[in-house]
Chain A
Amino acid sequence: MSGAREGAPASWEVFLRVRRGLAHQHVGSVRAADPDAALAAARDLYTRRGEPMSLWVVRSDAVHTAAPDERDPYFAAARHKPYRYPEHFAPLTEKGPEGEHDA
């Protein structure tokens, strides 16, 4: 028996904003006993290079998501609505999409 286990009791998901203009992105997880320790661990682990802007840590068990068997009820409907996309319709000009506006 070797006392407390390696890796603190809680897992935390880590989100990093690598630079201004970008959203926070999930980069991985750390183990830590409390939020401050989690933030420090995430800083040491995920920000050794560059000049990151901001870090979030969220307890892994606080992330709520649909169960795998609920995936179809949640997401399957999105695939069948081609009319949500511009390509579903005829271009506005002869030249095709490039001829439309500047964008």
Chain B
Amino acid sequence: MSTTRDTSTKTATTGLSVAPTPTSASEAPTPTSAPATGASGGTAGAAPGAAPAGSAADLALHLQRLGDDALVLGQRLCQWITRAPTLDEDLALSNIALDLVGHARTLLTRAGRLDGTGRTEDDFAYGRPDREFTNTLLTELPNGDFATTVARQLAYTHYAVLYYEQLTHCPDTELAAFGARAAKEVAFHRLHADRWTVTLGRGTEESARRMRHGLERVWPYTGELFEEDEVLRRLSASGTVPSPAPLRETWLHRVTGVLTEAGLAVPAPTWSARGGRSGLHIEEFGPLVAELQSVRRQFPGGTW
């Protein structure tokens, strides 16, 4: 990860121009922080040969990444509950968090079955140190104000709808069924994000200013959602799951549409964050994981 806090980031906002952020498609598979646990294959790139096992390990890692995204974003949204701008919004954000935790549970459970470790959803959520979480940095960004949360929701939900819709075409029927269910749920989260983006963008001067700031805050972190590494290249080449990389254009087109309606510009950040997929997180992530796991760690051998 090149940068952590981006408070000093120069973010050129140039009308509606498309962000020229370089994608990281040319990056080498991330070797730095292999999940050390069990037979999950460790580094994604290090599974030559052994085709079935290798591709199962690849798929497991991919699902773990998606699951971590959902889990960590759900955890962030939980932090809003009882603190939202209205009671209705407490309800709306908790609904979204609930769906996200549900997605995480399905994805992590499946990952544990695929990678041969037999790890449960809770083993993934509570048994890994923060360096082994593979969520994108976007999902772990601190909530900031409501506008920043809406901006993050806008970016994530548009991506997630597109990607989960793609999953419905997977040959793996279980995964396809998950994609269909999750796409419907995230589509409602996207409506929520769209509505608030437009409301805040066209509300008051203050809300528009905060919305612009929120977008600038989160936009450098959106590229990582579409990153394609060796794992994804192998998975998409074999037709196992699609890569998110080709969806980026449609995503940009759609969020541009919403932002235009909101009277806001698409930020054009001069840099793009990455690192989450390989366990290099922002400093605020440690406390998030510590909090998530605190009770469970306090009672070794406990049953819940």
- A-B Cβ contacts below 8 A, count: 29
Which listed residue (A34, A36, A44) contacts B88, Cβ 8 A? A44
Whether a CB of chain B sits under 8 angstroms from the CB of A41 is yes
Q: Which residue of B lies closest to A31 (CB)?
A: B88
B199: chain A residues at CB < 8 Å are 33-34, 37
Q: Which of B86, B87, B92 has the most CB of A within 10 A?
A: B86
Whether a CB of chain A sits under 8 angstroms from the CB of B195 is yes
Residues 37-53 of chain A, each 1 if its beta carbon lies under 8 Å from chain B, else 0 = 10011011100100000
* Distance A31 CA – B88 CA, assembled complex (angstroms): 8
**In the complex, are the beta carbons of A40 and B86 less than 8 A apart?**
no
A52 to chain B, nearest CB (A): 13
Q: Which residue of A lies closest to B188 (CB)?
A: A43
- Interface hits, A1-57 → B, CB 8 Å: 6-8, 30-34, 36-37, 40-41, 43-45, 48
A6: chain B residues at CB < 8 Å are 86-87
Secondary structure dominating the interface of A: mixed
Contact size range, B: 10 to 19
Which listed residue (A30, A40, A41) contacts B191, Cβ 8 A? A40
Whether a CB of chain A sits under 8 angstroms from the CB of B240 is no
* Distance A48 CA – B99 CA, assembled complex (angstroms): 12
Q: Which of A36, A40, A41 has the most CB of B within 10 A?
A: A40
Q: Which residue of A lies closest to B86 (CB)?
A: A6
- Interface hits, B75-113 → A, CB 8 Å: 86-88, 91-92, 95
**In the complex, are the beta carbons of A8 and B92 less than 8 A apart?**
no
B92: chain A residues at CB < 8 Å are 40-41, 44
Q: Which residue of B lies closest to A33 (CB)?
A: B199
Number of A interface residues at 8 Å Cβ cutoff, please give it: 16
Which listed residue (A8, A31, A45) contacts B91, Cβ 8 A? A45
Whether a CB of chain A sits under 8 angstroms from the CB of B213 is no
Q: Which residue of B lies closest to A42 (CB)?
A: B88
* Distance A43 CA – B199 CA, assembled complex (angstroms): 19
**In the complex, are the beta carbons of B195 and A36 less than 8 A apart?**
yes
Q: Which residue of A lies closest to B92 (CB)?
A: A44
Which listed residue (B88, B188, B195) contacts A45, Cβ 8 A? B88
Residues 197-225 of chain B, each 1 if its beta carbon lies under 8 Å from chain A, else 0 = 00100000000000000000000000000
Q: Which residue of A lies closest to B203 (CB)?
A: A33
Whether a CB of chain A sits under 8 angstroms from the CB of B192 is yes
A91 to chain B, nearest CB (A): 54
**In the complex, are the beta carbons of A7 and B86 less than 8 A apart?**
yes
Residues 130-157 of chain B, each 1 if its beta carbon lies under 8 Å from chain A, else 0 = 0000000000000000000000000000
B115 to chain A, nearest CB (A): 34
* Distance A36 CA – B188 CA, assembled complex (angstroms): 12
**In the complex, are the beta carbons of A41 and B195 less than 8 A apart?**
no
A7: chain B residues at CB < 8 Å are 86-87
A-B contact pairs, 6 of them (CB 8 A): A6-B86, A37-B195, A40-B195, A41-B88, A41-B91, A45-B88
Residues of B bordering A, CB below 8 Å: 86-88, 91-92, 95, 188, 191-192, 195, 199
> Given contacts A6-B86, A44-B91, A44-B95, could you give 11 more A-B pairs where the C-beta distance is less than 8 Å?
A8-B86, A32-B88, A36-B195, A37-B195, A40-B92, A40-B191, A40-B192, A41-B91, A44-B88, A44-B92, A45-B88
